[in-house]
Structure 1
Amino acid sequence: MAQKRLRISTAVAVAVAGTVAFTSLLTACSHPQPSADGLQVSPASPTAKANDKIQPVSLTIRHTQVKDTQKKRLAMLQDVVKATEANVPGLTITLDGVEDKVNRFEKLRAEMAAGNPPEIFDLFGGTDTRDYVKADRLLDLTPVLKELGLSDKFYSFDEFTVNGKIYGIPMAGYVEGLYFNKKILANNGLKPPQTWDELLAEAEVLKSRNITPIMLAAKDAWVINMMMNTMWVRTAGPNVVEGFLSGIKRWTDPDVVDAFSKYTTLVKKGYLQEGSLALSYAEQQNKFSSGEAAFMFDGSWANTPLLDPEKSSIVNDVGFMNFPAINGPGDGFINGGWSNAYGFSNRVSEAQLAAIKEFIKQMYNEPMQKRQLMEEGMPPAMKLKDTSDVNPLIMEILQVFANAQGTFTAYDSRIQTKVREKLERGMQELIAGRTDPAKLMEELQQQQEASNKEEMHVN
């Protein structure tokens, strides 16, 4: 989950193609009968002989399935591990679970710097992948995928491709948008808003009736910028982050500042959750699933707690939509893609590499991808032939993904770390009333220029 976490000058065309390809997933009519879970266990490795002395092999898998809402996802990984161990004599796999943000921004980063990452690990695409390739830490998967016949089975390796080589295998896709409570809207004579003005008008109606219009957890700063990212794409276009990186676009440009000014309107009018700066991301989902707000901006991964009848009172009342149009060049685009993957250390032995290939075979196949879709609502990374019997909300999410005008990746998969951190702190200050859009954008542009120069110097 973060999901991500899945986030483009030339990538717009690629993303549109990916969206078109995703549409074919929804219209597929064939229904093959896969073996249970897609796990194929052989009596013994084809390379093992009865009289051979089995040599011990060990792998560590760093995963991020540590939350209560990820138990099904963890069970899938555990099943894959069991099947992999059964097919590789002498293999022992250790699962190392770490919270996703801690893994991405702290633990894995430190391990990469020291040159001792686990053999298999949860990897974020874009900037993270490029940095680790530059440091010569990642296994080139291009020949492995070709050997296993998987090169053309995925929607996109875009975020994990550096200089024409693939360094990560996406686990699932993601898409971000606006969840809404159908019952609250209907009871108040409202419909899903299609424009920014409609959203504001509905928020005013809801607020006047003591209903929280938009649920927001601002304690976890990255949560704020999911919707903010979509808003600045609406006003400034889907290529805006690439423009920041190249210098042809500035955070201080009027069309960018406009998005932050509109966000400030939501804050000042009280349309966001009261006391949001004290709320964690988990509380955001809990409160929305308890029916305490009409809207919540979140990722496709959030469908899991929303559809859990033991935790959600709105299982039959939740819908999903693209964020409303703001009358800008990015209207109709959606934040979506394939940003979370498994990466692999390039410092592995021949025996470990053989075990890694078996892990890939067990993890990446149609039955396992279908299981992810059915049990967790995770948009598949691989091109499925069968999407029958999928939950209606999940199908709605997939349909919104497919019908978008185009996709763009999350800004934090491209932007430099210091810029991201400056933006996260700045948005919390904006919500607290300690800064304003113009001042924040000036500070952000200064950091962007400094980070761009630093990157040019390193390169």
Structure 2
Amino acid sequence: MKKKLITAAASVLMLSSILTACGGNNKNSASPSPSQSPSATATESASPSDSPSPAAVERFDVSLRHIQIGELQKFRKAILDEVVKKSEEEVPGANFEMDAVEDSFNRWTKLPAEMAAGNPPKIFDLFGGPGDGQKFARANKLLDLTPILAELGLTDKFTDYSTFVVDGKVYGLPIGAGSEGWFYNAELLESNGIAVPKTLEELEAAFETLKGKGITPIAMGSQAAWVPFMLLNTLIPRYAGEDIQAGVANGSRKMTEPEVVAALAKYEEWVKKGYFTKGELGIDYAGQTNEFIAGKAGFLFDGTWRISTFNADGVGGALNGKVGYFAMPAVTGGKGDQTAVNYNQNNGYGFSADVNDNEKAAIKAFIKNLYTEEYQIRGFKEDGVLPSMKVDAAQLSSDNPVMTQVLATNAAAGKVFPHFDSLVPGTVNGEFEKQIQNLIAGKSSPQKAAEEIQKAMDAELAAMK
């Protein structure tokens, strides 16, 4: 018998406390609707008897940068392709030029360089927060979406887009939401006599058992530092409290607090005990997923967007029905709410401020077609992406056992907390990532890493005064 469906209603209610209302005035001139080009509008206003034959619509290109690359992202890419096709059909002459770029390279190298040079794509993958979206908005590089959202009736349809807001105006839109936690290979654990861990001590005991049998405890690819950062982003709040990231960002708390250093020391301990994939600094994000899929590791700390990988038609279909999920266990003596979960909706799309009327019409059509209840629900059901928009809670149910565990975990959480890199400037995030890799390589200590990150944060706070 199928497991009883579990809805996300509780999760939606839990997250209602983070709703953000945004408004603002548009300084740009009005543009034609997504279904009309300027020439089409003029033609329709003329008398049928006086109108000449419609002139051929001249093609115009709209560059679109996305990060949906490879088999792991195939469901999201399929939705994007559908949206592009609809938008091209609605806007005469529009031709979307798709440009696929790896996530980290786009975020940290390519897009910043294009912004500095003044030639970003017209539509591009964008991360919210002071290091990305808000920084570009303050530099007048991003299109103010506030009037477009009002025109399309979308202003109040999102659960939270605050990391894309500057001075009450909206400059980016999150495509979905996600939590981060532990995926585990149930078959592998059972065959080695390991029960699903409920405490940090039980989790570490499981690591030790797997290692003793020649099995990698935690699949990890740390070539890009944001990957191990996910684990530390939850481990640190377990020790120091769920408000630690926000506190460090506003200067009320410090990375050098004993609890933060203790969390970094715990991570270093796991590195030294060999719990992570050997040679992790040379392995990328896809590599760690593939190691887990191959049954070579017992645990994988990742975002809930990874769920679709383990569907019957996913890349990891061999593990379908054999994967479970749980949140980071409580830390004995840890501060704050030990049920709190990471919850983010900071990744989405931004749009260049340098657009003409035709390009703006294409952007408007893209937003109208992508940000719908239909695609929010499809993203949830097909790809495990939690909604970033307010949708019918009755639609957010699943007979996928992994998703039901995620929904139950989120519903049971007393609080949520954001990812560190959505709250701090890019220089601070960059220093954190550098120190993570130094810690893994044995080139730094927990205390030294904490001091260097805090030094970067202090410099940014001083510059803001």
Q: What residue number does 1:97 align with?
A: 100
Determine which structure has more spread, i.e. the larger CA radius of gyration: 2
CA distance in 2, matches of 1:55, 1:276: 51
2:200 maps to amino acid:
W
Q: 1:68-94, CA deviations, whole angstroms, 9 ceiling, x for partnerless residues?
A: 322232222121111111111122221
Matched, 1:217 2:221: yes
CA distance in 2, matches of 1:266, 1:172: 32
1:383 Cα deviation from its structure 2 partner: 2.3
2:328 maps to amino acid:
F
**1:59-458 correspondence to structure 2 within 5 Å:** 59-127=62-130, 128-307=132-311, 308=313, 311-327=316-332, 328=334, 329-385=336-392, 386-388=395-397, 391-456=400-465
1:84 maps to amino acid:
S
Gaps of 5+ in 1: 1-15, 23-40
1:43 Cα deviation from its structure 2 partner: 11
Query: How big is the alpha-carbon RMSD for the aligned residues of Structure 1 and Structure 2?
Result: 2.5
Return 330-339 or 127-136, whichever deviates more: 330-339
CA distance in 2, matches of 1:346, 1:435: 42
CA contact (8 A) 1:429 1:435 kept: yes
CA distance in 2, matches of 1:241, 1:317: 34
Return 427-436 or 97-106, whichever deviates more: 427-436
Q: 1:155-195, CA deviations, whole angstroms, 9 ceiling, x for partnerless residues?
A: 11122122221111111111111111111222233322222
1:120 Cα deviation from its structure 2 partner: 1.2
Q: What residue number does 2:3 align with?
A: none
| C-alpha spacing 1:310/1:269, structure 2 compared with 1 (3 Å) | closer
Number of aligned positions between the proteins: 423
CA contact (8 A) 1:44 1:86 kept: no
| C-alpha spacing 1:309/1:352, structure 2 compared with 1 (3 Å) | closer
CA distance in 1, matches of 2:275, 2:235: 16
**TM-score (normalizing by structure 2):** 0.84
- Partner of 1:96, secondary structure, is strand
- Partner of 2:248, secondary structure, is helix
CA distance in 2, matches of 1:403, 1:424: 30
CA distance in 1, matches of 2:420, 2:91: 40
| C-alpha spacing 1:122/1:193, structure 2 compared with 1 (3 Å) | same
1:442 Cα deviation from its structure 2 partner: 2.1
1:324 Cα deviation from its structure 2 partner: 0.8
Percent of aligned pairs with the same residue?
40
Return 408-417 or 265-274, whichever deviates more: 265-274
- Partner of 2:99, secondary structure, is strand
CA distance in 2, matches of 1:252, 1:175: 26
1:116 maps to amino acid:
N
Gaps of 5+ in 2: 1-10, 18-33, 45-50
Q: 1:15-61, CA deviations, whole angstroms, 9 ceiling, x for partnerless residues?
A: x9763449xxxxxxxxxxxxxxxxxx989998463855435443211
1:312 Cα deviation from its structure 2 partner: 4.3
CA distance in 1, matches of 2:78, 2:36: 23
CA distance in 1, matches of 2:254, 2:168: 29
Return 214-223 or 381-390, whichever deviates more: 381-390
